[in-house]
Chain A
Amino acid sequence: MISDNPYMPIPAKLTDVIDETPTIKTLILAPDEPMSFRAGQFMQLTLPGVGEAPFTPSSSPAEPERIAITILKTGTVTQRFHECTVGQMLGLRGPFGVGYPLDELDGHDVLVIGGGVGLAPLRALILALLEDMKGVRRMSIKYGARCMEELLYRNEHAEWTQHKKVDFTCTIDNAQDGWDGHVGVVTTLLKDLDIDKARTHAFVCGPSVMLKFTTFTLLNEGLGPEQICLSMNRRMSCGMGKCGRCNIGPFYLCKDGPDINYAKIKDYPNVF
């Protein structure tokens, strides 16, 4: 629960910093009070005096007292988050949004498609499903990164696939010494999918251009728009559908998303 004033952050102590890749770090936060969230809901992370930025926790919803936020260094604020040190006080506000529709997955195949740091919010989905498969028949994870150093959560991939219903494939954009895996952008992993297309939910998160081409590839592969859930994280600010800046058509991603069914938004301008 958040306090009476939904604009004020709950103090959260930075208890650990994990160097994931040369550009990505995961901050582990212990909020003053446990902050329950559903996989896919996001929070506003405050750097005192600097401001806040929206992130979907990458940790399991089963651990509301230990929240992991995975951050790509991509601008001024994320740079400042990367400079944070263990023991420092930050703030969290939320959770906001609706989260992934876990209860609609019974009897379905789940296709998880991540690009770069986009695997972070999807990790919460993966961990939630590993904990309770909710009747999911199979979870197929497809992941792409720029190069092998940028592959996120590298030491967890094998762990995920220990579950007999889970498979994991990853790719890097260009060939590289020391890499004998798949090469190409993430959409190249989506051809001739061995899934039951009529009973599949796809969850996609990554940069805008990746979301666009992944969506088109999935449509080409025979999935319907209503089977594609896009993580359209934009400049979400208030988190409550009031400040106005994260709309796609009549939907506010902070309130109606940030993961939103493509069928809902496809006819509105500036989707990608």
Chain B
Amino acid sequence: MTRFLSQEAAVGFVERCRKKHVVIGLAASQMAWDQVEADACVSAFRMPRAAQSAKGFFMPVSESLGRYGAQAGDEGARPDKEVVLLGVRACELRARDYLDRVFQQGDFRDPMYDQRRGSLIIVSCDCVDCAESCFCPLVAGQPFATDGFDLNFSPVDGGFIVEVGSDRGRALLEECGPTQQKDAAAQQFAQRDRQRQQMLERLKRQNGDFEFDVADEAITPLPKDNHGDWQRFAADCVECGACTNICPTCHCFYLYDQVLGDDRFERVRTWDSCLLSSYHRMAGGEHMKLTPRPQLLGRLANRVLHKFTYSPQQYEMLGCVGCGRCIDACLGEIDIRQVVQELNG
């Protein structure tokens, strides 16, 4: 099902959403996720992807996993309210699919992720502009989503084509959308398709220097050994962990316990970074090998290999969605496209 919402109707939709739900969007001025005004939110639909991805809403920087001790069974406060997330991009949806595989597949489902995931209503939008670092077509992605959303907004002249992707999306549109809803016209669909194609071509053009091919999620033959090829890039890495924090698929976490009071304890998880030297720290004294990757190049190689070689084996998809956020964030100006290009084959 698709509808056409004028600019004004789209703002009205977000305003009504904000009255009934917790609505998180991107303010066009700062492009940071927050509870922002409806018109700012809607303007952001026409901007490039934000510096920060929506990862934090699926997996917060820090969260309680539960309490134990004298108050066993008290699992602490849990989010139960639905949150509407506005302006999510195709790359972030793909990253969300990746996180789903990590946290929901296998012998153990992650209850915290499950709950949070279930409480999110996702409103995505096509990219009609992009950042210089965006490279989704190089990793078999595209700057618009065709599924995986509850609602998707495609900017067209005078408003948006809104595509319904789920029952929840349909319900939200019925609840908060205009009472008189129009179908999108053929010429608006034509404009959407033309824009999508143009955006894809622009992205391919701006990545014209890169030729690696990971189409069909194929495994990239990056060098397996810790040899010197990685050293060139490791020399620029300052081990700040910005790339792992900003990456929408990086999900490594650290578990720790804290004391709440007499015989009352809480288990907490926080984001962690595989680039940090303390990350793999094991027990042992001075004569033992305390980490399997004592060298930075080994850790850098492991991160890149995880994205491009290991993830397809583990989750049947690449661990990189081509959003380019790590390129923008890197203090050492390491460009992951260049790493893959130079080390590939």
Residues on A facing B (Cβ under 8 Å): 4-9, 11, 46, 48-53, 74-75, 77-78, 91, 207-209, 234-235, 237-245, 247-250, 255, 267-272
**A-B interface pairs (CB < 8 A), number:** 122
For residue B103, CB closer than 8 A to chain A, the reply is yes
Q: Say whether A7 contacts B107, CB under 8 Å.
A: no
Within 8 A of A (CB), among B190-234: 224-226
Q: Say whether A48 contacts B224, CB under 8 Å.
A: no
Residues of A near B293 (CB, < 8 A) are 270
Q: Say whether A240 contacts B272, CB under 8 Å.
A: no
Q: Say whether A48 contacts B65, CB under 8 Å.
A: no
Q: From known contacts A9-B68, A241-B106, infer whether A51 and B280 are also in contact, taking CB-CB under 8 Å.
A: no
Query: Which of B12-20, B126-134, B164-172, B259-267 lies on the face that meets chain A?
Result: B259-267
Q: Say whether B265 contacts A244, CB under 8 Å.
A: no
Kindly state the separation between the CA atoms of A261 and B153 in the bound complex, as whole angstroms.
50
Query: Which of B24-32, B40-48, B246-254, B333-341 lies on the face that meets chain A?
Result: B246-254
> Could you jot down 30 A-B contacts, CB within 8 Å?
A5-B111, A7-B269, A8-B65, A8-B68, A11-B68, A46-B68, A48-B265, A49-B257, A49-B258, A51-B256, A52-B257, A53-B283, A74-B283, A74-B288, A208-B289, A208-B292, A209-B289, A234-B282, A235-B281, A235-B291, A238-B253, A242-B108, A242-B110, A244-B252, A244-B274, A247-B302, A250-B309, A269-B224, A269-B226, A270-B226
Q: How far is the CB of B95 from chain A (nearest CB, A)?
A: 15
Q: Say whether B110 contacts A245, CB under 8 Å.
A: no
Kindly state the separation between the CA atoms of A235 and B69 in the bound complex, as whole angstroms.
25
Q: Say whether A237 contacts B255, CB under 8 Å.
A: yes
Q: Say whether A250 contacts B314, CB under 8 Å.
A: yes
For residue B175, CB closer than 8 A to chain A, the reply is no
Q: From known contacts A5-B66, A48-B263, infer whether A242 and B103 are also in contact, taking CB-CB under 8 Å.
A: yes
Which of A6, A9, A244, A255 interacts with B253 by CB under 8 Å? A244
Q: Say whether A243 contacts B298, CB under 8 Å.
A: no
Kindly state the separation between the CA atoms of A11 and B233 in the bound complex, as whole angstroms.
47
Q: B102, B224, B285, B292 — which one has the most chain A CB atoms within 10 A of its CB?
A: B292
Q: Which residue of A lies closest to B105 (CB)?
A: A241
For residue B279, CB closer than 8 A to chain A, the reply is yes
Residues on B facing A (Cβ under 8 Å): 65-66, 68-69, 72, 75, 102-103, 106-108, 110-111, 224-226, 251-259, 263, 265, 267, 269, 272, 274, 279-285, 288-289, 291-293, 298, 301-302, 305-306, 309-311, 313-314
Q: How far is the CB of B160 from chain A (nearest CB, A)?
A: 37
Q: Say whether A242 contacts B310, CB under 8 Å.
A: no
Main SS class of interface, A: loop
Which of A75, A235, A250 interacts with B313 by CB under 8 Å? A250
Given contacts A48-B257, A238-B253, 10 further A-B contacts (CB under 8 A): A7-B66, A46-B68, A48-B263, A48-B265, A75-B285, A235-B281, A245-B280, A250-B314, A255-B106, A272-B292
Q: A78, A240, A245 — which one has the most chain B CB atoms within 10 A of its CB?
A: A245
Which of A75, A243, A249, A255 interacts with B283 by CB under 8 Å? A75
Residues of B near A249 (CB, < 8 A) are 305, 310
Residues of A near B258 (CB, < 8 A) are 49
Residues of B near A248 (CB, < 8 A) are 292
Q: Say whether B224 contacts A267, CB under 8 Å.
A: yes
Q: Say whether A77 contacts B66, CB under 8 Å.
A: no
Residues of A near B106 (CB, < 8 A) are 240-241, 255
Residues of B near A240 (CB, < 8 A) are 106-108, 110
Which of A208, A234, A238 interacts with B280 by CB under 8 Å? A234
Residues of B near A267 (CB, < 8 A) are 224
Q: Which residue of B lies closest to A4 (CB)?
A: B111
Kindly state the separation between the CA atoms of A242 and B289 in the bound complex, as whole angstroms.
24
Q: Say whether B69 contacts A74, CB under 8 Å.
A: no
Q: How far is the CB of B97 from chain A (nearest CB, A)?
A: 16
Residues of B near A6 (CB, < 8 A) are 108, 110-111
Q: Say whether A270 contacts B292, CB under 8 Å.
A: yes
Residues of A near B274 (CB, < 8 A) are 244-245
Kindly state the separation between the CA atoms of A241 and B267 in the bound complex, as whole angstroms.
18
Q: Say whether B267 contacts A8, CB under 8 Å.
A: yes
Q: Which residue of B lies closest to A6 (CB)?
A: B108
Q: How far is the CB of B105 from chain A (nearest CB, A)?
A: 9
Q: Which residue of B lies closest to A249 (CB)?
A: B310
Q: Which residue of B lies closest to A9 (CB)?
A: B68
